[in-house]
Structure 1
Amino acid sequence: MPRGQGKSIAQNKKARHDFEIEETFEAGIVLQGTEIKSIRNGRVNMKESFARVKDGEVFLHNMHISPYDQGNIHNHEPTRARKLLLHRKEINQLIGQTQQKGYSLVPLKMYIKNGVAKVLIGLGRGKKKYDKREDLKRKQQKREIDRAIKESLK
């Protein structure tokens, strides 16, 4: 199964708008108690989340997983930092690349693959305002071309 494939739970659509993603990594995620039940119910928000390398480990911050409805006192804190599971070689690569100016680790998508929750994180460089405008222009032109082709086929 290719990277990023599985039952999609949540996507960070703003990430591809704000960042130019150069490389992606598939990571497992360390969860507590009822978090997996909330994830399977689709109660995840990745909007303001980001990943950071600390002490040779990668952590995901600000990802909101809602407390499980049928959970009790064993429910989890919604926005706690969660450890991501990557190979040592990948972590070393990320350490080297994130130390370069302008690079960030951005979670792109959360999905379930073979019964296990996975996060697709991207190594990206922040886009400038004019880059975003260029992307929007390109998207609009493609839409107009597709529309014209579709009308000419009628």
Structure 2
Amino acid sequence: MADIVTNSKARRDYHILETFEAGIVLRGTEVKALRAGKGQISEAFARVENGEVYLYNAHIEEYAHGNLQNHQPKAVRKLLLHKSEIRKLFELAAVKGQALVPLSLYWKKGRVKVALAVGKGKAQFDKRQDLKERE
């Protein structure tokens, strides 16, 4: 399970309540760009809409050797989960102050997976407390 991209801000800004593994719908040039390590998910978030989960603001750079049909870097990408997991995510994300945050993109059996977490936002003093504990 080699990480392609990690979201270092997620654990700093959120208390992680629960994590899920999701597949992601990608085009060929997006996969090639990720193989080259050209991705960023620090500003990304997910939403449940019409019984489906979508990933927003995940930046995957255009593939350097692509053609005119190259992908859009900040396109909305569909996440693949079981229906029961989507229902659970919807219930957890509906609580005020909780968000769906991607923790990392990684390879599993040649496919790109997303570690998706339900997180509750930290206050400033919580972040300071974490810094003190690390030192």
TM-score by length of 1: 0.86
Deviation for aligned residue 1:7: 1.4
Q: 3-state DSSP class of the match of 1:122?
A: strand
Partner of 1:99: 94
What letter matches 1:24 in structure 2? T
The structure with the greater share of residues assigned to helix is: 1
Poorly superposed stretches of 4+, deviation over 6 Å: none
**2:6 pairs with 1:11:** yes
Partner of 2:28: 33
Task: Show structure 2 runs of 5+ residues with no match.
Answer: none
**2:70 pairs with 1:75:** yes
* CA radius of gyration, larger in: 1
Q: CA RMSD in A?
A: 0.6
Deviation for aligned residue 1:85: 0.3
- Corresponding residue pairs, total: 135
Deviation for aligned residue 1:15: 0.6
- Between the aligned residues of both structures, percent identity stands at 51
Partner of 2:15: 20
Cα pair 1:33 1:74 within 8 Å, conserved? no
Q: Distance in 2 between matches of 1:47 and 1:123?
A: 15
* Residues 14-52 of structure 1: CA deviation (Å, up to 9, x unaligned): 110000001100000001231100011110011111001
Cα pair 1:111 1:117 within 8 Å, conserved? yes
The structure with the greater share of residues assigned to strand is: 2
What letter matches 1:60 in structure 2? L
Q: Please, which of 47, 50, 57 is the counterpart of residue 42 of structure 2?
A: 47
TM-score by length of 2: 0.98
Deviation for aligned residue 1:59: 0.3
Q: Distance in 2 between matches of 1:91 and 1:137?
A: 36
Q: Distance in 2 between matches of 1:41 and 1:114?
A: 17
Partner of 2:115: 120
Q: 3-state DSSP class of the match of 2:48?
A: strand
**2:62 pairs with 1:64:** no
Q: Distance in 1 between matches of 2:53 and 2:89?
A: 9
Deviation for aligned residue 1:74: 1.4
Q: Please, which of 125, 128, 133 is the counterpart of residue 133 of structure 1?
A: 128
Partner of 2:106: 111
